[in-house]
Amino acid sequence: MILLLLLCQLILRRSIAYVDNSTGHMIVPDFLLLAVVIAGLGRGVLWGVVTGFLLGLVQDSFAPVNFGVNAFSKVLIGFISGLIGGRVFLHTGTIVFFLIAGLKLLNDSFAVGFGSLKGYEGLASQLLIYTPASALYTSILGLLLLWISSILKRGTYRLW
């Protein structure tokens, strides 16, 4: 599943993105974040952290402006999802939806906030408009992927 999400990030990300032509900002799903969250929830803290570090480095290799920011934020997301994995009832889609949305907001807020230290313009619009929209998009897509995955594994999944 993690390899599939990595391929989706590399191949599909630009084709299913919404681009605001006036500002150039994009609303895209974060397949790498989904892979880190799935690894952390399913396998625990160690898997979440290692997966977050490796996939964050992959993401940083494509955007070398603030090299290491994505790796650190994905490690943080992997650690949090690994801690949550054994403590929260994750068999309903509502909880998974809000968990993915919250972790996406945390990830993007950290990455954009750290990037603003070098004078990033449009920080307010990024954090108030595009980050929540991207979190919603990622959560819907993540819920859909987990739903399809669970149907293929077990045959049933409760959305509510």
pLDDT tens-place string over residues 80-133 = 999 988 677 666 778 888 888 899 888 888 877 766 555 555 666 667 777 888
Q: Give residue-wise pLDDT tens across range 31-76.
A: 888 889 888 888 889 999 999 999 988 888 877 677 888 889 999 9
Q: What is the pTM of this model?
A: 0.78
3-class DSSP state of 155: coil
79, two tokens: 């650690």
Which residues is 26 bridged to in the sheet?
19
66/60 Cα distance (integer angstroms): 8
Domains parsed from the chain with CATH numbers: 2-9+29-153 (1.10.1760)
Count of beta carbons in the 10 Å neighbourhood of residue 27:
19
